[in-house]
């Protein structure tokens, strides 16, 4: 699979949403990492990090899933996740969730220190912060104008603000257009979107207005769950603007690799 | 008034459908919110002020008994009288007794959220004591017979047309769309009230333990009038408002003021050290400080929620919150609204009636990012959610029972990858007849509320873990 002599080895956690709803995001994540010679594996028992249960107050259920995750990934060097939200769950909230569990302090510290969101991993672990020499322009010029939605957990739990922007804007021919209020929540919030649909959809309306007034043709983000909310709203409103995960834009534009 | 699901759902709906309120709420982003960011960016050592502020607050709250005693002793030394009050009932009684003893007829009030907790105005007016709010925003909502919509801007939901109508009706002035004309009339009316008043009641922004000084921050100067013109001044404070030293104000004044309004400094900062001294011309004869618990010890005892007592009541989390900017202050059903209100209101009132508050949040963390003392509000919301979902509430609804079963069931599946994958495979087949252009446009409850406003993607035929093996064969031919 990977013939590189690079020593970076990483396990993919592909998240339950991506595995089932957006498998193509998983594919592009894997292919981009492979392109940069990361030695990948996919721990086969992985399912869910436990965040939905945690956020809804069912900590006992969430704990079981967290312990399962820790076990599934205990031998990984790095864990790369194409989601800021699931990464935060593992990196930040496992500590809160499992604080009273005996013998878990060390395990949590270890898992937390080796878990990275996809763009964070590319920029800060792989040292790739300029994609211009790896990418080429696409045939579809409509996809050259891109706006970026900052996902909440990525920004506020992981403090990742510039990395995705740096990656996107360095892709050949792409123009990153900053929308207004890019950092404001799209209204997803997991079960919040179902429990309080009126509030959530009003937040979504604002997000869509800001996307539209950026005059870009494509919205990207590091979280497929935000994009599920945004694209769902765009489609309901019959808007032509498309959504795409950051790994997909990068993968689409990568030059073929010459070795 | 106390929070309830009924009130919450109704008020949310009303607020979302009120274009004036929506316009004013969305203005908070470019107004207070951006002003706060600019002010903090132009404060050179903002981060270290925040750190220091948090440290001092953590320390004070952990040693509250010590500092409460110090406040008591120093305020008394300054000639003031201190009353520790367990709840709003005993504090109200103290104030009414004092009013009766001194034959008080007219009370003027500075802005005080804790007096809203007590419903003090009603209690005074029942005793036929005229009680007038003197902060312009409070003056307006008192006239409208409403509660504060926002911690620092109580009448932010009112348009100038609304205010003009209120003034026309209550002050018999001609309508005006000029805010200056309206403010001038309020000022004229209030001037008389200040002169007549025989008791002034204020809140407290801070009380410094080492000097026994009460600190009030205001922009209108009304606070200073309330503390200096009437014969009696009563200040009411929540027991968490203490700072150890007057010197700590160099940390807290910039944090509070810049986070609240984005001003570098407010128009007035008043420091009160007891009643008028013999050699002084102005000031009250009596100064009373009421230190109130009113449920705060419940927050103090709960190690996961204690941090909420660090709050400076600047309102920055409200302005930053995308949920507050939609549902406004009245939806929260009690004095404190927004993210911090979603923590303290359920605890200070009744958690099982206020259970919407911790859940009506997307957990986006904008509050945490805005807080001058870095209070981790989302973390506390999560703890309250746990308490509600796992608690033995008697009032368990069918929908929450269904949710509980769903989470227990899905966890069993997720713990067994084979089961989970079989289940999603089955769903991917069952879903087929309901799909339109590859997405769901309508689904029954509980997902109905999703598809009302968005489409839902279909579960894909071949999930990622099935594609994994073949990925690199197809794509990396060059390898």
Instruction: Write out pLDDT tens, residues A101-148.
Output: 989 999 999 999 999 999 999 999 999 999 999 999 888 777 789 999
Same domain for A41 and A108?
yes
Nearest to B234 by CA among B222, B226, B242, B225: B226
Q: Is A156 on the interface with B (CB under 8 A)?
A: yes
Task: With beta carbons less than 8 A apart as the criterion, state whether B307 and B127 touch.
Answer: no
**Cβ–Cβ below 8 Å for B464 and A156:** no
How many Cβ atoms from other residues are within 10 Å of residue B22's Cβ? 17
pLDDT in tens, B241-289: 999 999 999 999 999 999 999 999 999 999 999 999 999 998 999 999 9
Percent of chain A with pLDDT over 70: 97
Same domain for A149 and A113?
no
The answer as to whether A97 is a domain residue is yes
Give residue A259's pLDDT. 52
Same domain for A249 and A217?
yes
For chain B, residues with pLDDT lower than 50 are 475-479
CA gap B353, B372 in Å, rounded: 30
CA gap B320, A241 in Å, rounded: 27
Give the A window 67-106 contacts with B, CB below 8 Å: 68, 93, 96
For A27, the domain range is: 9-125
pLDDT in tens, B39-86: 999 999 999 999 999 999 999 999 999 999 999 999 999 999 999 999
Number of domains in chain A: 2
Same domain for A49 and A117?
yes
**Cβ–Cβ below 8 Å for A57 and B386:** yes
Q: Is A36 on the interface with B (CB under 8 A)?
A: no
Closest-CA distance, A176 to chain B, in angstroms, reads 23
CA gap A197, A204 in Å, rounded: 10
Handedness of CA B422, B426, B429, B435 (dihedral sign): negative
CATH number for the domain including A223?
3.40.50
Closest-CA distance, B145 to chain A, in angstroms, reads 27
A125, A151, A173 - which closes a domain: A125
Domains of chain B, by residue range, sit at 43-294, 398-475
pLDDT in tens, A29-73: 999 999 999 999 999 999 999 999 999 999 999 999 999 999 999
Of A54, A156, A203, the CB nearest to B369: A156
Q: Is B119 on the interface with A (CB under 8 A)?
A: no
Give residue A1's pLDDT. 36
A125, A149, A181 - which closes a domain: A125
Test the A interface: residue of B23, B411, B436 with most A CBs within 10 Å? B411
Taking CB atoms and an 8 Å cut-off, how many pairs form between chains A and B? 205
Provide the angle, in degrees to the nearest 10, between the axes of the packed helices B417-430 and B398-415. 120
φ, ψ dihedrals at B408, nearest 5°: -65, -45
Give residue B392's pLDDT. 66
**Cβ–Cβ below 8 Å for A199 and B360:** yes
Structural element, H or E, at residue B288: strand B286-292
A72, A94, A125 - which closes a domain: A125
| Mean pLDDT, range A15-19, rounded to an integer | 97
Q: What is the DSSP string of chain A?
A: --------EEEE---HHHHHT-HHHHHHHHHHHHHTT-EEE--TT----SHHHHHTT-HHHHHHHHHHHHHHTTT-S-EEES-HHHHHIIIIIHHHHTTTSTT-HHHHHHHHHHEEEHHHIIIIIS-----TTTB---S-GGGGEEEEPPPHHHHHTS---HHHHHHHHTSTT-EEEPPTTTTS--S-TTTHHHHSHHHHHHHHHHHHHHHHHTT-SEEEES-HHHHHHHHHHHHHTT---EEEEHHHHHHHHBPPP--
Characterize B98-121 residue by residue with b for buried, 16 or more Cβ atoms within 10 angstroms of its Cβ, and e for exposed.
bbeeeebebbbbbbbbbbbbbebb
Q: CATH number of the domain at B43-294, please?
A: 3.40.50.10420
**Cβ–Cβ below 8 Å for B457 and A236:** no
Give residue B479's pLDDT. 39
The answer as to whether A136 is a domain residue is no
Same domain for A152 and A226?
yes
Cα distances (Å, whole numbers) of residue B435 to A25, B199, B457, B479: 21, 69, 9, 39
Give residue A5's pLDDT. 45
Same domain for A152 and A68?
no
Give residue B394's pLDDT. 60
Closest-CA distance, B239 to chain A, in angstroms, reads 28
Nearest to A125 by CA among A91, A79, A93: A79
**pLDDT at residue A89 greater than cutoff 90:** yes
**Cβ–Cβ below 8 Å for B364 and A156:** yes
Residues of B in contact with A256 (CB under 8 A): 478
Same domain for A146 and A54?
no
Place of tokens 């109200």: B92
């Amino acid at each position: 699979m990977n013939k590189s002599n690079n020593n970076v080895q990483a396990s993919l956690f592909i998240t339950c949403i991506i595995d089932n709803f957006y498998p193509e995001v998983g594919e592009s994540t894997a292919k981009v990492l492979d392109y940069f010679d990361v030695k990948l594996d996919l721990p086969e028992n992985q399912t869910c990090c436990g965040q939905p249960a945690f956020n809804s107050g069912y900590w006992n259920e969430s704990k079981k899933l967290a312990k399962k995750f820790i076990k599934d990934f205990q031998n990984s060097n790095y864990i790369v996740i194409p989601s800021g939200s699931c990464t935060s769950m593992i990196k930040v909230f496992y500590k809160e969730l499992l604080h009273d569990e005996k013998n878990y302090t060390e395990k949590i510290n270890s898992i937390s220190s080796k878990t990275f969101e996809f763009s964070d991993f590319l920029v800060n672990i792989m040292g790739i912060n300029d994609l211009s020499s790896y990418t080429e322009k696409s045939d579809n010029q409509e996809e050259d104008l891109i706006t970026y939605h900052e996902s909440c957990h990525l920004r506020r739990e992981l403090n990742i603000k510039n990395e995705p922007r740096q990656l996107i804007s360095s892709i050949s021919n792409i123009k990153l257009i900053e929308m207004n209020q890019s950092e404001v929540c799209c209204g997803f919030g997991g079960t919040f979107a179902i429990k309080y649909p009126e509030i959530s959809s009003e937040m979504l309306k604002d997000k869509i207005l800001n996307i539209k007034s950026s005059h870009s043709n494509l919205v990207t983000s590091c979280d497929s769950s935000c994009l599920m909310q945004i694209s769902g709203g765009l489609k309901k409103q019959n808007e032509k603007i498309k959504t795409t995960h950051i790994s997909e834009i990068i993968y689409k534009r990568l030059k073929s690799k010459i070795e | 008034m106390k929070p309830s699901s009924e009130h919450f759902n109704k008020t949310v709906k009303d607020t979302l459908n009120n274009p004036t309120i929506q316009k004013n709420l969305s203005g908070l982003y470019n107004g207070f919110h951006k002003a706060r960011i600019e002010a903090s960016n132009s404060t050179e050592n903002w981060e270290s002020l925040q750190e220091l502020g948090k440290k001092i607050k953590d320390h004070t709250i952990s040693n509250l008994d010590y500092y409460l005693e110090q406040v008591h002793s120093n305020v008394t030394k300054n000639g003031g009288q201190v009353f520790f009050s367990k709840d709003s009932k005993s504090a109200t009684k103290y104030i009414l007794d004092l009013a009766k003893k001194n034959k008080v007829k007219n009370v003027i009030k500075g802005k005080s959220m804790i007096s809203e907790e007590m419903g003090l105005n009603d209690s005074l007016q029942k005793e036929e004591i005229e009680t007038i709010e003197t902060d312009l925003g409070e003056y307006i909502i008192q006239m409208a017979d409403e509660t504060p919509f926002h911690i620092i801007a109580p009448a932010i939901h009112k348009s100038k047309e609304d205010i003009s109508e209120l003034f026309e009706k209550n002050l018999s002035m001609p309508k005006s769309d000029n805010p200056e004309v309206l403010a001038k009339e309020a000022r004229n009316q209030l001037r008389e009230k200040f002169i007549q008043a025989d008791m002034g009641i204020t809140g407290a922004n801070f009380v410094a333990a080492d000097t026994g000084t009460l600190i009030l921050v205001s922009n209108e100067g009304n606070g200073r009038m309330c503390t200096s013109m009437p014969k009696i001044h009563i200040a009411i404070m929540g027991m968490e408002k203490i700072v150890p030293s007057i010197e700590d104000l160099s940390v807290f004044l910039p944090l509070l003021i810049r986070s609240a309004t984005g001003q570098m400094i407010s128009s007035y900062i008043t420091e009160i050290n007891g009643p008028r001294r013999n050699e002084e011309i102005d000031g009250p004869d009596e100064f009373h400080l009421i230190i109130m618990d009113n449920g705060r010890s419940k927050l103090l005892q709960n190690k996961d929620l204690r941090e909420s007592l660090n709050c400076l009541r600047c309102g920055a989390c409200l302005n930053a919150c995308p949920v507050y900017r939609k549902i406004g202050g009245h939806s929260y059903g009690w004095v404190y609204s927004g993210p911090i209100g979603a923590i303290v209101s359920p605890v200070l009132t009744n958690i099982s009636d206020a259970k919407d508050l911790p859940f009506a949040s997307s957990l986006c963390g904008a509050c945490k990012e805005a807080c001058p003392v870095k209070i981790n509000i989302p973390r506390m919301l999560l703890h309250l959610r746990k308490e509600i979902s796992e608690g033995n509430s008697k009032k368990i609804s069918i929908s929450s029972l269904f949710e509980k079963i769903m989470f227990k069931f899905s966890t069993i599946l997720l713990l067994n990858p084979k089961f989970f994958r079989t289940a999603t495979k089955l769903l991917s087949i069952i879903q087929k007849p309901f799909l339109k252009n590859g997405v769901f446009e309508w689904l029954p409850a509980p997902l109905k509320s999703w598809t009302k406003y968005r489409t839902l993607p279909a579960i894909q035929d071949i999930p990622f873990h099935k594609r994994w093996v073949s990925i690199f064969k197809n794509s990396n031919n060059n390898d």
